[in-house]
Structure 1
Amino acid sequence: MGQEISFSEFEQGDFDRFYQKLRQETSLLRHLIEHRRFSKRTPVAGFEIEAWILDNNCRPLPINESFLATLNHPLAFEELAKFNIELNSTPTPLAGNVFSRMHSQLQETWDTAYRHAESLNGRLIMIGILPTLVQDDLTLANMSNLNRYRALNQQILQSRGKPVHLDITGHEHLKLDHHDVMLESATTSFQIHIQVPLGLAHHFYNASIIASAAMVASCANAPYLFGKDLWNETRIPLFEQAIETGGYAGVAQGPLRRVSFGTDYARKSIMECFEENLQHFPILLPEAIDSSPEAFAHLKLHNGTIWRWNRPLLGFDADGTPHIRIEHRTPAAGPTPLDSIANAAFFYGLSKNLCDEIITQGLPFPFSQAKDNFYQAARYGLDASIHWLNGKKIRMHTLLREDLIERAALGLASLGISRCDSEDYLDIMRQRLNNQQTGSQWQRQFIKEQGKNFKLMTETYLNNQQSATPVGEWSTH
């Protein structure tokens, strides 16, 4: 959930001062974008992956503070819950054998962290939602000890004026109330980043929006929550409802939500997203930051409290030149490091291909259609029926197999990815499709065969995960 802050409680004056700084920085960003004073680096890749710490009974183990202190790894960080951690990558040019290198780094980081968990009588799992989780695990006692999280909890509940209400209808129905934001910690994801030149940023953002349906379907790994079989990717409605709060007073329950698919494509510039942030979303964390406007500290902090499934980020190159990254947030974590890098390869390739097509031919269908495709794919996975470029309905599995994997291969070739790297990782996706087995499909098949034994399923999942075999090859035994 981003950077730490100094305090967890604020007064009205804090909000007023923060807003003035935010407005100033937004104006400066608009000026820099209009005058194209941004990095011209070729695309750079990166990711963040969230994981769970488990005890030997496959239950959440809330020790991330001591775990991270003793692990002392530069790429490992805390998350909202004490039983979650985040592992990051180092930025890598998106060319050549980039995926082999990203895979090696993630596997090494994962193996180090996993061995460390074992030394503390625990284990690590990368999965969209932990199957053994129960609602009583999600209490403020299990919130990581950071001001940022305490402040977010207070501000979101204050803006809502009522408890969090969860209502998800899938294969089964789950309906409950919760009295803090800890429901969000049940969703663990694989967030893919790409830094792109400013001139491409809004086109790539739009391409990521269009690619989201294929990504959420092919990477699904979260069918169960609190024992209920819900969506193929239950993280999507869970995250949206767990931090459900909207725009300024009067529209708190309106169409502008802090966790959402967004409101539209970026029509002319990526600046449109940052303008929307300023104009439509109340400040949640009015931290007093002593920095120059050129650091964009207030703008970055505010942007970090608005969770579009595709989110533009502002950063800086090593020489201080500002750059834009697109963060794609739809894939679940796991099931393995190999699957994760295959997911990233598919995203980069498909989005690049769609981006090139958007530049030459324009946007292929309305934003409303991209949005509908996304939620259909999140709910029904590979069985979803969506409208594609020709306006006709097609089953997602068929579309992936007959069109989108090849598009991804073409996109990777245009990025200068080595053919060997491209084929190796896209073959993982092809295998997943041929066997019709995503992480969610494997979980559902296990429960179908073994009954609702979520502890046994989690143990079997862990064994498969540690074998490094991609999920398309997993057995339920």
Structure 2
Amino acid sequence: MGDEISSPTFTREQRQRYREKVRRCLDVFERMLATEMFDEDRPLTGLEIELNLVDADRRPAMANAQVLAAIADPAFQTELARYNIELNVPPQALPGDAVLDLETRLRSSLDHADERAARSGSAIVMVGILPTLTPEHLTGDWMSANPRYQALEEAVFAARREDIELDIAGAEHLRMLTATIAPESACTSVQLHLQVNPGDFAANWNAAQLLAGPQLAVGANSPFLFGKQLQAETRIELFRQATDTRSPELRNQGVRPPVFFGDRWITSIFDLFEENVRFFPALLPESTDEDPEAELAAGRAPRLQELRLHNGTVYRWNRPVYDVVDGVPHLRVENRVLPAGPTVVDVLANAAFYYGAVQMLATEDRPTWTKLSFDGARSNFETAARDGVDSVLYWPGYGEVPWDELVLRHLLPLAAEGLRRRHVSTSVIERYLGIIEARAKLRRNGASWQVEAVAALERTGLSRAEALSEMLRLYMDGMHANQPVHTWDLP
């Protein structure tokens, strides 16, 4: 959800003080990276899943406050819109059958939450973009009661000084103006966290960036927005446009957007935090009383709250994270590429593919990213978001290659070996990577199933709105059955 703030508005003096404090935090962070303060003993992984709430007619249910009160579990938190919530899974190690245990716990937790949500007439849906969402749902009292969200909206429009234009081309074309950041709430994702040593961070981040294109081709699940079929993972372009603080003129000048893939391979996590401070203006300039230099001099790990808060408003698809737990600082790569859903088992299959492949790509003697331009990695990412199961990607040693061939011939064997090196059991590898293999062989993921299902329903005479609603009903049946999406029947 991000760090909390106390006020939605800020003075000019606060902004100036915040900029100075962020730079101090950056200097302290640089000094910390030269020490041995960081937690380096536990290669932990973590997981966050953003979720949607729907009513009995499968339309957005603006009820997250009531639902969260009924769930009464701190693992579930609020999100941007009142039809959004988020599930946070505690960090854990991967060895043995841990992922099988995680699947059981996740299903139990979501079943319990769904049962509690039903008491307020709501149901939980795990999907990249809620297919039944319309612009009319995002008017009036749509935003969750949290000063952070109000402050973000005010900051975006203060920077832009004009409405946001959404212009997304795909199978169909969406073009509209919005006077709020409400469309951003349509983007619900799975966030995968990987704790790494400072010396290994750059290799893991570069590997995650390299893998982003294949990740989307494997796991796209967001083909519909506001009744239109757009891109396989429409969420990528929607998130970029719905949070854009730049006017058209600033875009033309090449100013970086807050939603940012990046523009180069890195040599240190410091590269990313320094880039944040140099190029991105503060959206939430709230300062604390912490003296980071004094904390470090006293042998304590400073929170560096201003640096962390600023980092939280630069929406990289692979975000660097600095955090302190029980007084010990650590670093994480936060992978934000994947959409939510379709099922728990699909989410964990996507996670297994990511963690295994990154393990190998980050430890190659001659890393693949040294043979691929950064623009090539960005192009793969954009292609996969647009085309999904029809993607053709570029990969060193393979040239222009269909995504399924790349996955089956190269990335799946890499992922299996990476999981073995993390001491993951054979049963886990076979269960979850077997799902990725089947998706590739059938060329079917959540996005392609949704598109095929809606087309089939429209052929029976249903309108687009009716077909989307009925598709979502079938989707929710599959989600609750926890059968991988590639096995789902079409209507």
What's the TM-score, normalizing by structure 2?
Answer: 0.93
- Give the drift of 1:391: 5.8
Distance in structure 2 (CA, Å) of the matches to 1:87 and 1:409: 27
Aligned to 1:61: 61
Aligned to 2:243: 243
Aligned to 1:289: 288
Distance in structure 2 (CA, Å) of the matches to 1:47 and 1:160: 33
Query: CA 1:47–1:359 in structure 2 vs 1: closer, same or farther (change >3 Å)?
Result: farther
Aligned to 2:337: 330
* 1:459 pairs with 2:458: no
Partner deviation per Cα, 1:204-225 (whole Å, 9 max, x = no partner) = 0000000001111111000011
Distance in structure 2 (CA, Å) of the matches to 1:51 and 1:379: 23
Distance in structure 1 (CA, Å) of the matches to 2:140 and 2:175: 21
Distance in structure 1 (CA, Å) of the matches to 2:250 and 2:128: 34
CA contact (8 A) 1:39 1:198 kept: no
- Give the drift of 1:435: 2.4
Aligned to 1:435: 442
* 1:264 pairs with 2:271: no
CA contact (8 A) 1:140 1:180 kept: no
**AA paired with 1:380?**
D
* 1:355 pairs with 2:362: yes
* 1:208 pairs with 2:212: no
Distance in structure 2 (CA, Å) of the matches to 1:255 and 1:383: 31
Distance in structure 1 (CA, Å) of the matches to 2:30 and 2:289: 21
Partner deviation per Cα, 1:289-315 (whole Å, 9 max, x = no partner) = 233421111111111001001111111
**What pairs with 1:385-464 in structure 2 (closer than 5 Å)?**
385-390=392-397, 392-451=399-458, 452=464, 453-464=467-478
Aligned to 2:296: none
After the TM superposition, which of the residue ranges 112-121 and 324-333 deviates more from structure 2?
A: 112-121
Aligned to 1:381: 388
Gaps of 5+ in 2: 293-301, 459-463
* 1:469 pairs with 2:483: yes
Distance in structure 2 (CA, Å) of the matches to 1:228 and 1:436: 22
Partner deviation per Cα, 1:412-435 (whole Å, 9 max, x = no partner) = 111221121111111111122222
Aligned to 2:274: 275
CA contact (8 A) 2:346 2:435 kept: yes
Query: CA 1:217–1:255 in structure 2 vs 1: closer, same or farther (change >3 Å)?
Result: farther
Query: CA 1:48–1:324 in structure 2 vs 1: closer, same or farther (change >3 Å)?
Result: same
Distance in structure 2 (CA, Å) of the matches to 1:177 and 1:214: 32
Distance in structure 2 (CA, Å) of the matches to 1:168 and 1:358: 40
Gaps of 5+ in 1: none
Partner deviation per Cα, 1:38-63 (whole Å, 9 max, x = no partner) = 22123111110011110000000011
1:307 is aligned, of 311, 315, 325, to 315
Distance in structure 2 (CA, Å) of the matches to 1:215 and 1:130: 20
Query: CA 1:253–1:77 in structure 2 vs 1: closer, same or farther (change >3 Å)?
Result: farther
Aligned to 1:368: 375
CA contact (8 A) 1:71 1:113 kept: yes
Distance in structure 1 (CA, Å) of the matches to 2:400 and 2:482: 36
**AA paired with 2:25?**
E
**What pairs with 1:126-137 in structure 2 (closer than 5 Å)?**
126-137=126-137
Distance in structure 2 (CA, Å) of the matches to 1:129 and 1:226: 9
Distance in structure 1 (CA, Å) of the matches to 2:255 and 2:454: 37
CA contact (8 A) 2:95 2:422 kept: yes
Aligned to 2:16: 16
CA contact (8 A) 2:63 2:122 kept: no
Query: CA 1:433–1:251 in structure 2 vs 1: closer, same or farther (change >3 Å)?
Result: closer
Aligned to 1:122: 122
Distance in structure 2 (CA, Å) of the matches to 1:427 and 1:391: 23
**What pairs with 1:104-183 in structure 2 (closer than 5 Å)?**
104-139=104-139, 141-183=141-183
Distance in structure 1 (CA, Å) of the matches to 2:158 and 2:457: 43
Q: Secondary structure at the match of 2:168?
A: strand
What's the Cα RMSD here? 1.7
After the TM superposition, which of the residue ranges 301-310 and 257-266 deviates more from structure 2?
A: 257-266
After the TM superposition, which of the residue ranges 209-218 and 361-370 deviates more from structure 2?
A: 361-370
**AA paired with 1:366?**
S
**AA paired with 1:297?**
Q
Partner deviation per Cα, 1:320-357 (whole Å, 9 max, x = no partner) = 22111001111110001111111100100111111111
Query: CA 1:412–1:232 in structure 2 vs 1: closer, same or farther (change >3 Å)?
Result: same
Q: Secondary structure at the match of 1:335?
A: coil
Q: Secondary structure at the match of 2:192?
A: strand
